[in-house]
Amino acid sequence: MTAQAHFAELRAGNLGVRVADTAEEVRAAQALRYRIFYGEMGAQADAATAAAGLDSDAYDAVADHLLVLDHDRGEGPEAVVGTYRLIRRAAAARIGRFYSADEYDIAPILAFPGEVLELGRSCTDAAYRTRGTLQLLWGGIAAYVFRHGIRLMFGCASLPGTDLDANAAQLSYLAQHHLAPEALRPRALAGRHVPMERLAPGGYDAKAALMALPPLIKGYLRLGGFVGDGAVIDPQFNTTDVCVVVMTDQVTRKYYRHYERSAAPQPPAPQPQARGA
């Protein structure tokens, strides 16, 4: 499926965002993921992964790959400087499951009526980690949401490292202030479940904990995002994962006017959902 079947490229100066259109662009996204996850973040590569220099798995073949492109670097795979992996319900059905199901019981998500979108494998080249690049990525997600009628987004997001004490304030803040309503609440799988509420309310600086969260998680929270029950330690990727759930009504309200022409033709805007539903 071509990028034009999703939405036209959105531009901000020399940068653009769109869905990958070729196998070479997907490979460039996998190479970027490898450099960030394994080169910077300390993920542990097996022999095949190290030899290929690519972060890849079976889900890549069915996913759409959102790309940030720097057109000053060229017009092909060399332009890829950011990526986000997007998996819709029908794509997950081709594999038999969503990626998040490896860490969480996502039955409440699967039972949700309408289209859902799993977000994951997000990373950006170090030279492009700016507010503008992040806004462009969110604009691309918004356009994708409009084009495909997505009503709920979810996925695993990561805190750096596997030291629960180092992440105690952030995990406690998320559990105490942003726990998903029960009807939409994923739960970490038995045997992998790590309690998130590690510090008592008032026993830490909540504002500082919020500020210390990774920008991606803060972006989800600004859109009204929730977290599931329990964190998961991922030793391979050297992260502590949480499952995030975001209703798309706020995405629609925040970005619709700005991106409606880029996302045309539009499906009906998703209807706002009750937070306690």
CA angle at 173 for the pair 170 and 176, rounded to the nearest 5°: 150
CA angle at 254 for the pair 253 and 255, rounded to the nearest 5°: 100
From residue 156, alpha-carbon distances to 120, 242, 257 in Å are 7, 6, 29
**Chain segment 197-211, per-residue pLDDT in tens:** 999 999 999 999 999
**Chain segment 228-247, per-residue pLDDT in tens:** 999 999 999 999 999 999 99
Q: Model pTM?
A: 0.88
Would the CA dihedral through 39, 135, 251, 213 be positive or negative? positive
**What is the three-state SS of 219-272?**
HHHHCCCEECECEEEECCCCEEEEEEEEECHHHHHHHHHHHHHHHCCCCCCCCC
Mean pLDDT for 118-124 is 95
CA angle at 103 for the pair 236 and 136, rounded to the nearest 5°: 80
**Chain segment 96-116, per-residue pLDDT in tens:** 999 999 999 999 999 999 999
Residue with the two structure tokens 């987004």: 153
**Chain segment 6-39, per-residue pLDDT in tens:** 888 999 999 999 999 999 999 999 999 999 999 9
Q: Which of 142, 41, 140, 43 is nearest to 82 (CA)?
A: 140
Look at residue 268 in the predicted model and tell me its pLDDT.
Answer: 36
Q: Which of 237, 154, 230 is nearest to 188 (CA)?
A: 230
Pick the residue with more confidence: 56 or 7?
A: 56
Q: Which domains does the chain have, with CATH numbers?
A: 3-263 (3.40.630.30)
* pLDDT over 60 at 270, yes or no: no
